[in-house]
Amino acid sequence: MIDLFEKAEKHSFVDDIREQNIYPYFHALQSKQDTVVQMEGARRIMLGSNNYLGLTTNPEVIEAGVEAYRKLGSGCSGSRFLNGTLELHLELEAELSKFLRKDSVVTFSTGFQSNLGIISAIVGRGDYVIMDRENHASLYDGCKLSYGTMLRYRHNDMAELEKCLQKVPENAGCLIVTDGVFSMGGDIAKLPEICALAEKYGARVMVDDAHGLGVLGEGGRGTASFFGLEDKVDIYMGTFSKSLASLGGYMASSARVADYVRHSSRPFIFSASIPPANCAAALAALRILESHPELVDKLQDNARYMRKCLAEKGIKMRMGGGEMIPIVPIFTYEPIPTLTITKDLYDHGVFVNASLPPATAPHEALLRCSLMASHTHELIDEAVDIIAEVLGRYEL
């Protein structure tokens, strides 16, 4: 028998990049998550956060969390299924279902857990789930937790999606799952074609809108709203950790499907519920989004502005998504140059995320920049100047 821990002892890629002083992970914040942060003793322009609407520093969101902490304590000490349901959870679910124009919402403790809980409950033995190859890792893990058969199609390739649908037996259920806005490349799913194929073959559609809520659609309602397909998408999934500046996740669907998931989903039934402060903060952020849809316009304006500035500097971006998407991927191609550039940018006061395979395709490593509605054009100008200066020192 070999030692189970042998894999941990072997020399690894992580050891190599630590030795080269280009390890990009676990930098410690010393301030609030904002457009400019204090990180490890220095000022950094934050271009690596999913805080799309900039609400993590909003006084109303913060006060809602503080007040819930005082009134309801630090946690629920149990699952929603038993002692862990607060009126606040029900209030959040009701307001979110109304906002998303779906019958019902189920909230989960994290976004990752939401995808585990939804897919593992809905897709059973003998069923099929069809996935875009660039879907988020949590969707893949949800498929692993289910007893269904997973098929995959090339990213946004509708001809291959149809070939997958043709492989599903007549007597099997089928769920097509796609990100709405893809988290690495900022691409938007081809939702009109996906919904048309689902209708043609009798499949159901689930959209992971973690990066779509607050970003696209009428008043930030997401990808289905953007395409006018709210009645064609059967399940929306999303998170509170991005546009809604908190922690947790949700599923929006018909009342019957939601009720089924509440009583069947092991990740939902056997996990403690969202703490009161996080629930209250998400609800306050949702209300701000509802009353200030111009935040979405400002976010999209910032995305267009940064892309224009980068293009003027001759910087090559991945252009698969719409110009209004706040995920701006800059090609750096190979892992070591990507990590070296990321470290160089960090040392010059700009925080971006290094995106490496398998999160990207081989030879398509990226600097993943992401914007907030609260970024000013002046800050974007400063960041773009630094990015252009740093990139100019490398042959890409």
Which residues are known catalytic residues? 183, 211, 242
DSSP letter (8 states) at residue 216: S
Contacts of 268 by beta carbon, 8 Å cutoff, 6+ apart: 79, 80, 81, 106, 108, 113, 117, 121, 261, 262
Helices 276-291/59-72 angle, 10° precision: 150
Listed residue (265, 259, 249, 251) closest to 121, CA to CA: 265
Radius of gyration of the chain from its Cα atoms, rounded to whole angstroms: 21
| 375: three-class secondary structure by DSSP | coil
Contacts of 242 by beta carbon, 8 Å cutoff, 6+ apart: 50, 51, 52, 210, 211, 213, 214
> Tell me, what amino acid is at 377?
H
Exposed (0-12), middle (13-18) or buried (19+): which is 105, by Cβ within 10 Å?
Answer: buried
Residue with tokens 């609260």: 374
